[in-house]
Amino acid sequence: MTEHLPYGSWPSPLTAEAVASASPRIEGARFVGGEVWWGETIPGEGGRTSVRRRTASGDVDDLLPSPHSARSRVHEYGGGAWTAADDGRLFFVEKADQRVWLREPGGQLRALTPETVDTRFGGLSWQQGVLLAIRESHEAPGGERAIPQRDIVRIGVGEKIEITCVASGSDFVAQPALSPGGRMLAWIAWDHPDMPWDRAELRVGALQDGVVREWTTVAGADSSALQPVWAGADELLYADDPTGRWNLWRAQVPAPTAHPIESHHVQSADADTGGPLWVLGAKWFAHLEDGRILAVRTQGSDDLVVIGPDGVISLLAAPPTSGITVEDVRGTRVLIAGAGVDAPPGLWEIDLDRPTEISLVRGGESPWGADWMPHPRALSTPGPRGPVHAFAYPPTNPHVAGPEDELPPYIVFVHGGPTAHVGGAASDRIAYFTSRGIGVLDVNYGGSSGYGREYRERLRGQWGIVDVEDVAAAARGLAAEGFADPARIAIDGGSAGGWTVLAAVANTDVFAAGISRYGVGDARALAADTHDFEARYLDGLIGPLPEAEDVYIERSPLTHPERFTVPLLLLQGADDAVVPPAQSESIRDALAARGVPHAYVLYEGEGHGFRQAKTLVHAYQTQLAFLGAVLGFEPDDVAPLRLD
């Protein structure tokens, strides 16, 4: 029998402790011999990333025991922190020293790169018996800090430490790919002030004594090329968006200095095969030995398609429908990661010759059952500058419903980036709130990826304007349809999403409260303090400095402390190098000076994004208690939160 209780007070088995450890965070996966290996973040062990394997017998064990952690700090966001050879050798970037290490099949460890003041490695890949990596050096003569220098390097795996620069010549490099036989190297390159989703080049060069001395631009002069993959000795596949969508292209490269290099569409689609290159290990398609291509296509949610050598396309039915990455391919077997409508984040193995036989490797199942997972509803709401895309998750509890005369409170989620994307998928984090009677609206505001370049560039020069207009329009639209109590809508976001939270509560009357996780309050301070990867990001989002300084001042929420009138919760990592604690602390001080109810929590040992179990648990409980305090309900299983 269904019990009727006030929204927000519903009892739920989804405790903060359980949610913090429920869904694994997959950090790359690959076939190694007859086994499947994957990286996995372990919140209960300080948020370290281990590398695990599933043997042919089905057993699972750790290859990288505590306290080791495979995590790169290249670009601060890392990616590609481990790879492996088929003989069982594991190569990984150790978080503590950023050196590349080798773990032998017997467990012995040996450093492959020297100890330095601040040189980092990431984007590791084992190709044709060669270990390639992206090197990022922050050192200058005399040990001074410097503008980081990046190059593609070959790392020797013998007893002697040996590192060779293979390719450089730009501010940023990524995704190196050796041609069959090792005659040529393809890679992605871009320079300040562009971000890789603004403009990035696909370059190809001949290897002479293992080094590229000359290179040719294949694609990307006015677009954003991604992920070169060799389909033959002189045939290259890649993603690019000259048409406004990241589609697959094919180039014939008979010689790396040939001009012009012929390229043509593999398939034209009103969807994206590709996404923002925030981390170095992301892959959106794979080429099979028989000529087929497995590709992700994103238009809001994700589809997987198989493109035959004859161009015939077939849809591959698979559990994940959001955030899909194609991790590895071996023969006709593929590894894919992502999340689905009924499947929390996980890793699956699929044989494309037997596509109905899908093997779950890790995650992908809710420990509470599907009844507790809210089903997303895709929404498109009219906004001031065009449609605003979002996914709504209603309060969902198989045993409880709300009063018939009451509308539920909602929390609007604002993703970070801001060049990023959310899909409609099962999420333990979302279910933590919906199972208690709090709806969630996850918004892909203008500037988000997943809807093409035009939608992505809606935010160009308009950060703090378009994103605020869009989250407000989405929230108003949900309330106008009768799904949410308009007086009890809160907003939550991290990083760039935190900026939108602060700007939205300061500049609209839509939201009753805000939660900012390591959010930006002062755009000028961010431009001055942030790391090199994003050092010129704001040129495109707001404008170049010093010419646009007045715009930075006007847009920054901290410029207008008198506009903060609703309660705010601020959560911050003490070791955050992307958005330093000073940003949140300045907001805290402004709220205190004006007597606005607020709470500030600083988490020691956390950076940009929370990984440790104790942090995640406390953050979940604090957010729920805050919502109860400001939206007028009593959560079932958390202590009240005192606001300053």
Strands 568-573 and 598-603, how do they pair?
parallel
Does residue 215 share a domain with residue 181?
yes
CATH of the domain at 210: 2.120.10.30
CA distance 302 to 613: 29
CA distance 115 to 131: 19
Which of 224, 244, 275 finishes a domain?
275
Give the 3-state secondary structure percentages of the chain, helix then strand then coil, rounded to 5.
20, 40, 45
Does residue 436 share a domain with residue 461?
yes
Does residue 612 share a domain with residue 555?
yes
Residue at 480 is within a domain? yes
Residue at 522 is within a domain? yes
Mean pLDDT on 537-548: 96
Does residue 435 share a domain with residue 412?
yes
3-class DSSP assignment, residue 475: helix
User: In this structure, what token pair is assigned to residue 252?
Assistant: 């014939």
Residue at 591 is within a domain? yes
pLDDT greater than 60 at residue 261: yes
User: In this structure, what token pair is assigned to residue 153?
Assistant: 């390097």
Backbone φ and ψ for 493, nearest 5 degrees, come out as -160, 155
* Three-class DSSP labels, 433-449: HHCCCCEEEEEECCCCC
pLDDT value at position 140? 65
Between helices 466-480 and 496-507, what is the axis angle to 10°?
A: 70
CA distance 578 to 602: 15
Residues 6+ apart with CB under 8 A from 356: 317
CA distance 155 to 165: 9
Residue at 511 is within a domain? yes
Strands 201-208 and 184-190, how do they pair?
antiparallel
Does residue 510 share a domain with residue 405?
yes
Mean pLDDT on 469-475: 98
Does residue 42 share a domain with residue 8?
no
Identify the sign of the CA torsion 209, 215, 216, 221.
positive
Does residue 87 share a domain with residue 8?
no
Does residue 528 share a domain with residue 410?
yes
Residues 6+ apart with CB under 8 A from 109: 101, 102, 103
Does residue 93 share a domain with residue 7?
no
pLDDT greater than 60 at residue 245: yes
CATH of the domain at 515: 3.40.50.1820
Angle at alpha carbon of residue 100, lines to 96 and 106, rounded to 5°: 100
CA distance 77 to 174: 13
Does residue 444 share a domain with residue 506?
yes
Residue at 145 is within a domain? no
Which of 275, 304, 331 finishes a domain?
275
Does residue 218 share a domain with residue 82?
no
Residue at 62 is within a domain? yes
- The model's pLDDT over 310-359, given as tens digits with 9 standing for 90+, comes to 999 999 999 999 999 999 999 999 999 999 988 889 999 999 999 998 99
- The model's pLDDT over 424-445, given as tens digits with 9 standing for 90+, comes to 998 899 999 999 999 999 999 9
Report how many domains make up the chain: 3
- The model's pLDDT over 271-293, given as tens digits with 9 standing for 90+, comes to 999 999 999 989 999 999 999 99
3-class DSSP assignment, residue 22: helix
Does residue 245 share a domain with residue 129?
no
Q: Which domain holds residue 526?
A: 3-14+373-631
CATH of the domain at 76: 2.120.10.60
Residue at 295 is within a domain? no
Mean pLDDT on 444-458: 97
* Among 48-62, 380-394, 511-525, the least confident range: 48-62
Answer yes or no: are the C-beta atoms of 443 and 388 closer than 8 Å: yes
User: In this structure, what token pair is assigned to residue 311?
Assistant: 């161009």
Residue at 340 is within a domain? no
- The model's pLDDT over 79-112, given as tens digits with 9 standing for 90+, comes to 999 999 999 999 999 999 999 999 999 999 999 9
